[in-house]
Amino acid sequence: MSKDPAREPVEGDLVAPLDEAEARALTDEIRAAIKGVKAATGRLAAAVRRAHQARVWVTLGYPSWKAYAKAEFGIGRSHAYRLVDQAVTAEQLAAALVELGLTSPAGDDALLLGDLSGRAWREIQNRAHDVAALVADRAAESGGTPDVEQLRALIVRAVDEVRAEESRPATPEEAVPTVDDPDAFAHWEGTIALRHAPAHLTETEASAALHVAGYDTETRLTHAMAVRAFALDGNRDQLQAFRAALDVPEQGGHGYSRQHVVAGRALVEQLQMACWRQGMLYLEIAPSRLPDRAAARVLAAAFGEDPQSITTAERVEVRRYAITGDFQAYEEWENRALARA
């Protein structure tokens, strides 16, 4: 096939124009290169994950993981941790596929999962089981056992669906679960805890990270670890144990019993759920992209109030709680407001 006569080389062109066959060949080459990069990134993430688990920086004499990553690879701590998180998500997805009978324990995970970009892995973090469930559903719909290539395509499709679901604006019904849905609230709390203690951390590391982040009492830390586990993989054990107050003695030394603690924790959860629900409603009116001052003006206009009123200030604080999950900050504000009243 000849070159396009309407497209003659012009000054500044780096190469001569390509005909259709040449353009297709170059496109295929680029596609193959991208696929190779994705596969290599997956292998890199797995290797970094193993290095982190083995604490190789200690063996090699570095003072920290950050120093090791910078000196050996020229990457920052956050980049290294993103690779660790990617590997963790890949491990979770591979295990979920095995659990659903879609792959064998001895399967080639790299072959199946090598079509996903680093961004895709980040966007399905903590959603590996959802992706696997979608793959299983699509495989069942096809009415047969998928081969390797079909399974790869199903995985990519399922990942795309989960990513689209994550980016789709929530409807008011979805954004504001009812106050009577403690599991939905606990999952949201768990996603907040995961911001401070990502999935790749061990239990000890996660506990330390949460303590630094402000979960600074034994009760708050126990609860944060419980909801983190629930959001991470649906494990209810720690959450049920916390709600049953199994971390306190049957009879306390100050006249209280475990039954009193259970009742108290249930009341606290109901109060926080109510604040969360209100905050989510206010976020429908004043989205999270707005700073507090702008949000105050929007909320005041919506409710016909003074932007400087205590009621508007409380709405802004509840809205901030729905964004950050920091109920302690709301309590501190409420205490200051009551002291001024």
Does residue 186 share a domain with residue 156? no
Residue 310 has pLDDT above 50, yes or no: yes
Rounded CA separation 17/14 (Å): 9
How many independent structural domains does the chain possess? 2
**Residues 146 and 198 both lie in one domain:** no
Phi, psi of 173 (to 5 degrees): -65, -40
Point out the domain boundary residue: 165, 191, 223: 165
Q: Mean pLDDT highest for which of 91-95, 203-207, 212-216? A: 203-207
Judgement on whether residues 192 and 154 belong to the same structural domain of the protein: no
Whole-model pTM?
0.48
Does 217 map to a domain?
yes
Query: Which has the higher per-residue pLDDT, 64 or 221?
Result: 221
Q: How confident is the model at residue 299 (pLDDT cuts 50, 70, 90)?
A: very high
Is residue 43 domain-shared with residue 138, that is, in the same domain?
yes
pLDDT on residue 288: 84
| 14 within a domain of the structure (yes/no) | no
Q: 320: domain range?
A: 182-340
Q: CA 187, CA 176: separation in Å to the nearest integer?
A: 13
pLDDT of residue 113: 65
List the structure tokens of 87: 């590997």
Would residue 4 count as lying in a domain? no
Residue 12 lies inside a defined structural domain of this protein:
no
31 found inside a domain = yes
Q: Judge whether 8 lies within some domain.
A: no
Summarised one tens digit per residue, pLDDT across range 68-99 is 888 888 887 777 877 888 888 888 888 888 88
Q: How confident is the model at residue 111 (pLDDT cuts 50, 70, 90)?
A: low
In this structure, what token pair is assigned to residue 204?
């000890």
Look at residues 139, 165, 191 and tell me which one is the last residue of a structural domain.
165
The token duo for 220 is 């708050």
CA distances from 288 to 113, 292, 298, 312, 320 (A): 34, 9, 12, 16, 8
In a domain, 13, yes or no: no
Quote the pLDDT of residue 176.
Answer: 41
**Whether 34 and 97 share a structural domain:** yes
Query: Same domain, yes or no, for 212 and 335?
Result: yes
Quick one: 119 and 226 in the same domain?
A: no
Q: In terms of domains, do 231 and 135 share one?
A: no
Q: Which pLDDT score is estimated for 242?
A: 92
**285 and 315, same domain (yes or no):** yes
Q: How confident is the model at residue 212 (pLDDT cuts 50, 70, 90)?
A: confident
Neighbours of 321 (CB within 10 A): 23
Looking at mean pLDDT, say which of 15-19, 121-125, 269-273, 331-335 comes out highest. Answer: 269-273
Q: 153 with 270, same domain?
A: no
Residue 332 banded pLDDT, cuts 50, 70, 90: confident
Split at pLDDT 50, 70, 90, the class of 112 is: low
Q: Token pair 């106050």 is at which residue?
A: 179
Residues 105 and 231 in one domain: no
Residue after which a domain boundary falls, among 130, 165, 200: 165
Alpha helical stretches, state H, the chain: 20-53, 56-59, 65-73, 77-99, 109-113, 118-123, 128-142, 148-167, 172-175, 182-196, 203-212, 218-233, 237-243, 258-285, 292-303, 310-324, 327-340
Q: Which two tokens stand for residue 58?
A: 């200690």
Instruction: Clarify whether residues 187 and 160 are in a common domain.
Output: no
pLDDT score at 227: 93
Mean pLDDT on 123-134: 82
Does 177 reside within a domain?
no
